[in-house]
Each structure stands twice: as C-alpha cells, then as structure tokens.
Structure 1
Amino acid sequence: MTDVVLDGVSKVYPGDQRAVRDVHLHIREGELFVLLGPSGCGKSTILRMIAGLEEVSEGTLWLNGGVANDLSPRDRNVAMVFQEGALYPHRTVGGNMMFPLEVSGSDRAEARAKVTELTRALGISSMIDRMPGTLSGGQRQRAAIGRALIREPSLFLMDEPLSSLDAGLRTELRLEIAALVRSTGTTTVYVTHDQVEAMTMADRIAVLRDGVLEDVGTPEQIYQDPATLFVAAFLSSPPINLLQGTAWAVQDLGVVLELGPQRLTVPWSDPRSPSLISLHGRTVLCGIRPDALTPVHEGTPGRTLTGRVRVLEFHGHDWLAYAEAGIPTVDANSVGAQRKAATAGAEQARAVPGGLGAFGGRLRGLFGRDGSRLEPPPEEEHEGHHRRSDLIFTSGTRRPDRGEEVRLEVDLDRMLIFREDGVRITPPRR
C-alpha cells in the first residue's frame, strides 16, 4: 500500500495549454479515491502523471513518502486499468491473468491457485480457458481488472473502466470492484465522469473542472455541503434548482433574498446571515434540491415559493414536477468559469461587524418593517440562464395536475447560497 501526495502539481502542454492547474491533494493509504468531473477536466491527466505516463510540469508528486517525479512507471509499482480492457489476444483469460506472475517469477502452482481464486471472485471462472475475442465487453473488462489485481500492486489506477458497458453491467461491476479493492487494502485512484459511480464507490471524491480542483470530501460532504455551485450542480440527480436573486438586509426580518417576483427570508439567527450582510444589494445564487421543496396548502411567510405546474415526469417511486415560477435560473457551467483558484471555497465572504451598521438608513429606505419594498431595486441584466424559470420539485406518489398552482415550502437549512462567482458564502465543513 502507498499514499499519494500532489503538491502544487500542474500539467502544461506545448502552447501553454494547462490541463491541470496547481493541484494540492493527499490520497491516503488504503483509500478508494475517485477523481470526478466532466470530459476534459484533467482527471485522466492526473492519473497518468501518478502512473508515470505523463511528466509533471510543475510541483511535486510524492508516492509513499518519496519524490516520484522522475521515477519510471516500472519503479512505481502501480497497476492500471483503462476504458477498454487491453488483453493479449493470443492468451486465454487465465493466461492473461497469469502473465504478470510469470514475469515476476512466481511459483507456478501458487500462481494458478491465485488465478482460480480471483476469477471466481470476478465471476469469470467458467471463462478461464476462453480467448478474449469470444468474450463480451463486460467479461473482458473483468479479466483486465483481474490481471491488474493479481500483481498485488501498491497502487491501483483505474481510468473509467466501466464507461463502455451498459447500465446494468456497470451497476453490477462497480459493486464488485469496490468490494475487491477494499478487500485487498490497496490504495486505489478511480477516474470517472459518472456521479453515481463516484457516490457509491468512493471513500472520498475530488471534483475537477477545467484543470482546477473544486472540492474534496466524502460523498456525503460534497453532496450536502459543496464548496461551489458547480459541485452542487454536478452532483445532483434530479437537477438542483439554481436560482438567481439579490440579497437585501432588512433590520426587523433578516436577509431577504429577492428571487424575481418572489422572496425568501433568511432570519438573523441563521449562521449565514453575517456573510449575507456583506452582500447587501448584490447578486446571490441559491441552490435548492428538488426534495428540499415540499408542496403545502398554506406556506410559511418567507419560506414559500409558488409556481404553476408545467411538466411532469414519473420516476416510479415519485413524481418530478416542473413549475413555472418566474424566477431567473442560472447555468452552472457559466458561473465561475474563469475563476482560477487552486481550491475553490477557501474564501469566506467578509462579515460586516456590528450588525447593520451603515446599512441601517439605506435599509429603512428600501423596505418597510414588514419587509415590503418601498422603492424598486436598480435594474440589472444577467446572463447564463440555461432553462425556463421552473422550480423542480418532487411530490411523492401524488400526481400533480398540469396547470395546477402549487405552494412549495423551502427547507432553508438545506438551501445552499453562493456568491456570484459560484463560491459558497460560508466555507464548507471538512
């Protein structure tokens, strides 16, 4: 086993094309660590630098406490599985899995026993004497995984090994892979663009975007407490509601979030309110997952949004509804796209000391004591809307009617609030 440390690692290709930007990352010994992100985000490049197939342009790569920048792939004791299982076509499944042991000079009887045991664990024992050309894609990939595992490497690297398989087989294999690598205790770095694979397999996940590390944490942490709006949106199925609004601090209410024609109120008791004060009069972005919106008959003032049901989707266990609400929405891919921080979310919105302070007089001119507007806000133009101004919500087994007007209670504690650049207004808890 080994641990992996990337200390300010970057990869620069000719023409100053930066595929990876100043990544700081510690992959712990024995961990199943997933690199997650869209195509072209740099996750496979990081994997190849760890394997020694790509040179590190800047920074230091450490393997098991030693600098590995100049180590050859052979000296790193890593095993790698690619998208397509690269098997020797002239060898059987058993012969492919035996090959690494033959090269290392292992005892032949012991090697056969290990192959037999591993093919049984992978569910391919009946195919041990078959040639790769007679196998399905899933069977070939199992054999490739077995050939990598049988070497007992100190580090196991997997580059989207399930991406070419059908959905049912991916589900089956991801469970087997996770169980196998955990049973061996081998440090594993797994690359995928599939959020379900990442969430179900990983001990921890690193989310990448345009070569920049956006967030690192356990699946629960980055889902429930994401550092950036991009992470919140990428790890969301069904899609998270990304709403654009303006924050107004109101002395006797809290911070009013003006979302187009609708409003939510974050009370002063909320720990996010000091950070929101500093954003008074400025754009904020709110992330609300569909299951954080509950249809109600009478909503609580300051916690309720309304809309008219436009589209319905039946998902078997519940209904997913899209309600026209008139609230501006934003595209996660356009928010913060030019931000070049090495680790997003490290910044914290500056709280304004002393409560409302100098804002007090202006606030009384903007809102009455009940929060009603006394004068209109300045008009602003915003770009990046990626869909209609719908609120997406789940309604359980009850099927709403198209055209029905609904009231949706918002779980404010679960609502995520971001600055205009997509960074959380308060840092995530890690």
Structure 2
Amino acid sequence: MTDVVLDGVDKVYPGGHRAVRNVRLRIEDGELFVLLGPSGCGKSTILRMIAGLEEVTAGDLWLNGTVANELSPRERNVAMVFQEGALYPHRTVRGNMMFPLEVARDDRAEAGERVVELARALGLNSMIDRLPRTLSGGQRQRAAIGRALIREPSLFLMDEPLSSLDAGLRTELRVEITALVRSTGTTTVYVTHDQTEAMTMADRIAVLRDGVLEDVGTPEQLYRDPATVFVAAFLSTPPINLLQATAWAVEGQGVVLDLGRQRITVPWEDPRAAALISHHGAPVIVGVRPDALSLAGDGPDVPLPAPPPPSALDAPTAPPAPPREPVPPATFSGRVRALEFHGSDWLAYAEAGMPTVDANEVGRPADAPAEPEPPSPGLAARLRGLLGLAGSGAPEPAEPEEHAGHHRRSDLVFRIASGERPRRGDEVALAVDLDRVLLFGADGVRITPRLRR
C-alpha cells in the first residue's frame, strides 16, 4: 500500500501550454480518490505523472514517503487501467490475467489459483477461457481490471474506465469496481468527468479546472459546502441556480441581497452576515440548489421586502443590534415556463427576472486557454468561393450562436412533488431555505465560512 503527495506540481508542455498549475494534494493510504473535472482540466495528466508516463515539470511527487520524480513506472509498482482495456486479443481472459504473473516468474500453479479466485470475484469465472472478441464491453473492462489487480500493486490508477460503456452497464460496473477496490484496500486514484461516478464511488474528490485545484473533500462536503462557484455548479444535477446580486448592509435588518426585481435578507443573527459586510455595495453570486426552493403559495399575493433606502446603505463597521422588526421571509416569485417529469418528482423552470451567472466564466485563470474563435464571415465566404460553393464571395450572415450549456434566461429551477404540481403559466411563490443558500464573491470564491468537519 502507499500514499501519494503532490507538492506544488506543475506540468508545462512544449510550446508553453500549462496543463497543471501548482497542485498540492495528499492521497491517503488505502483511499479511493477521484480526480474530477471537465475535459482538458489536467486530471489525466496528473494520473500519468503519478504513473511515471509524464515527467513533472516543477514540484515534487512523493510515493510512500519517497520522491518519485525520477523513478521509472516499473519502480513505482503501479497498475493502470485506461478507457479501453486493451487486452491481448490472442489470449483468453485467463491468459490475459496470467500474463503479469508469468512476466514476474511466479509459481504457475499458485498463479493459476489466484487468477481463478480473482475471476470469480469479478464475475468472469464462466468466461475465463474465452477470447476478448467474444466478450461484451463490460466483460472486457473487468478482465482488464483483473489483469491490473492480479499483480497486487501498491497503487491502482484508473483513467475513465467506464466512459465507453452504456449507462446501465456503467452503473453495474461502478458498483462492482468500488466493492472490489475497497475489499483489496489498494490505494486507488480514479479519473472521471462524470459527477455521478465521483459522488457514488469516492472517499474524497479533487475538483480541477484549467489545471487548477478548485476544492478537495468528501462527496458530501463538496456538495453541501463548496469552495467555489465552479465546484457548486459542477456537482449539481439538476443545475444550481446562480444569481447575480448586490449586497447592502442595512441597519436594523441585515445584509440585503438585491437581485434586481427581487431581494432576500440575511439577518444579523446569521453568522454569514458578518462575512458579507466587507462586500457592502459590491456584486456577489447567490447559489440556490433546486431542492432548497419549495412552493409557498401564489406569487402575486406574497409581498417582497422593500428595497433599502439610500440613507441606510452606509456599511457599518460591526453588526448592528438585533433588528427591531422581523425580517421578511426569504421568498422568490415567478411564472412557470416549463415542467419536466422525473418519475418521483417534477423539475420546474420559472421566469423570475433575475440575472443568472455562467459558472464557466467566473474565476478562470488569466492565462487559461480560450475557446477557439470561429472564422470571420469574410474568410468563410472566401473559402466557400475557392471551393466553388459560392460565386460572389460576399460575406454571408453569421450563423446563430450555439447554446453554451447554461440557462441564459432568468429562470429559477426548482423541484416539486407530483401531488402539488402547478401548470405552465401559473404565478408561483417559492420559499427559500436560507440556511442552504451559498454566497460567493464576484471572483467565484466563497465569502462565507465553510463548515468542513
């Protein structure tokens, strides 16, 4: 068994592309640790550096208390499973799993017993003498995992091993892999872009974006107590509501979060109010998960808190005395635009007139790779002319912009039980569970205390 420490690790490729940026991370002995993030975030690069397949540009990589920057992959005693299992096509399942033991010159009889035992644990005993081409995708991947585990490595590395499988098989194999890895006690680093895999399998998760480590914690910690807007949004299905607001500290009330047409108040008794004082008059991002909203009645009959008067918007240096008047309940209102049936409940979208935030555009490193720009209309027209597809060469109207993956409308997403479903077009009021509201600065970093245990 082994533990893994990344101490200020960087990876810069020829040409200057910085794939990993000053990552500091500790993976404990026996832990099932998941590296999670979108494509291109550096998670597979980190895995390959741990395996010795990529050189560390800067910083130190420690394996079991030893600096491993210069160690070869063989010296690190790691086993790796890739997206495609890459079995030897001319060898049976038994032959593939026996191969590492043959290379190590283990006793053949003892090795054969180990192969049969592991094949049984992987559910492969009935197909142990079949060739890879006769197996399903999931069976081949299980055989590849068996071939890696049979060596009894000190460190097990898995690079998106389920991404090429269908949804049902992914779920089944996810459970099997988790149980098997935990039964062996082998330290495992698992790379995925799938938040469901990460949340259901991991002891702890590291979330990466643009090569930067955004947050580390248990699945529950990252979901309930994220460090950044990006983490809150990435670990959210259905998507979290991210709303643009301005914070105003108001004597006798608390910190009013002005969302344009609507507002909610964080009372002074709430510990988060003190942290918000320094953001008086500044933009903040309000995160509300769909299950933190519930139907409270008909929208038009629910009064909204009055906006703070200009004379009251001087930021106090300390929290004022408790409010003399009760703070209005945290409530949003809107008109139901769309409903989606999800079996046990419904997901609703309500037009609320509040500006939303795209988490992908908040808090990115200044030198993060930008999305490639499409060719200008003039260049596109010239290319079409050269290919004989257009005669005049005159620029054509630009194509409509693609949807970028976030809800640009000022919609609130919320869950509702089947029995209390409103209809499209209904005005609704939504009670906000203020204790579950997440507050971030304009840079996407939490501005209220995190309660990690």
Using the TM superposition, give the Cα deviation of residue 339 of structure 1 relative to its aligned residue in structure 2, in angstroms.
6.0
1:307 counterpart letter in structure 2: G
Cα deviation, 1:254-281, whole Å, max 9, x if unaligned, reads 0000011100000001111111111011
Alignment of 1:189-338 (within 5 A): 189-297=189-297, 301-338=328-365
SS in 2 for 1:272: helix
Q: Which residue of 1 aligns with 2:430?
A: 408
SS in 2 for 1:2: coil
Identity of aligned residues (%): 78
1:5 counterpart letter in structure 2: V
Using the TM superposition, give the Cα deviation of residue 245 of structure 1 relative to its aligned residue in structure 2, in angstroms.
0.7
CA contact (8 A) 1:311 1:322 kept: yes
Cα deviation, 1:290-332, whole Å, max 9, x if unaligned, reads 0000101276834000000000000001010000000000101
Cα deviation, 1:13-47, whole Å, max 9, x if unaligned, reads 01211000000000000000000000000000000
Cα deviation, 1:343-369, whole Å, max 9, x if unaligned, reads xxxxxxxxxxxxxxxxxxxxxxxxxxx
In structure 1, how many angstroms separate the alpha carbons of the residues matched to 2:121 and 2:417?
Answer: 39
In structure 2, how many angstroms separate the alpha carbons of the residues matched to 1:386 and 1:265?
Answer: 25
Q: Which residue of 2 aligns with 1:392?
A: 413
In structure 1, how many angstroms separate the alpha carbons of the residues matched to 2:26 and 2:225?
Answer: 20
Number of residue-to-residue matches in the alignment: 388
Using the TM superposition, give the Cα deviation of residue 110 of structure 1 relative to its aligned residue in structure 2, in angstroms.
1.4
Cα deviation, 1:158-205, whole Å, max 9, x if unaligned, reads 000000000000001111101101101100000000000000000000
In structure 1, how many angstroms separate the alpha carbons of the residues matched to 2:9 and 2:141?
Answer: 31
In structure 1, how many angstroms separate the alpha carbons of the residues matched to 2:122 and 2:347?
Answer: 37
In structure 2, how many angstroms separate the alpha carbons of the residues matched to 1:82 and 1:232?
Answer: 28
- Structure 1: unaligned runs, 5 residues or longer: 342-383
1:147 counterpart letter in structure 2: R
- Structure 2: unaligned runs, 5 residues or longer: 303-326, 369-404
In structure 1, how many angstroms separate the alpha carbons of the residues matched to 2:106 and 2:288?
Answer: 56
In structure 2, how many angstroms separate the alpha carbons of the residues matched to 1:258 and 1:174?
Answer: 44
SS in 1 for 2:417: coil
Cα deviation, 1:357-387, whole Å, max 9, x if unaligned, reads xxxxxxxxxxxxxxxxxxxxxxxxxxx9851
TM-score, normalised via structure 2 length: 0.84
Using the TM superposition, give the Cα deviation of residue 133 of structure 1 relative to its aligned residue in structure 2, in angstroms.
1.3
SS in 1 for 2:360: coil
Alignment of 1:335-350 (within 5 A): 335-338=362-365
Runs of 4+ in 1 over 4 A off after TM superposition: none
CA contact (8 A) 2:276 2:448 kept: no
Cα deviation, 1:92-142, whole Å, max 9, x if unaligned, reads 011000111111121212111111111111111111111111111111101
CA contact (8 A) 1:328 1:385 kept: no
1:67 counterpart letter in structure 2: V
In structure 1, how many angstroms separate the alpha carbons of the residues matched to 2:451 and 2:267?
Answer: 21
Alignment of 1:88-127 (within 5 A): 88-127=88-127
In structure 1, how many angstroms separate the alpha carbons of the residues matched to 2:58 and 2:365?
Answer: 21
C-alpha RMSD over aligned residues: 1.5
In structure 2, how many angstroms separate the alpha carbons of the residues matched to 1:283 and 1:108?
Answer: 68
Q: Which residue of 1 aligns with 2:383?
A: none
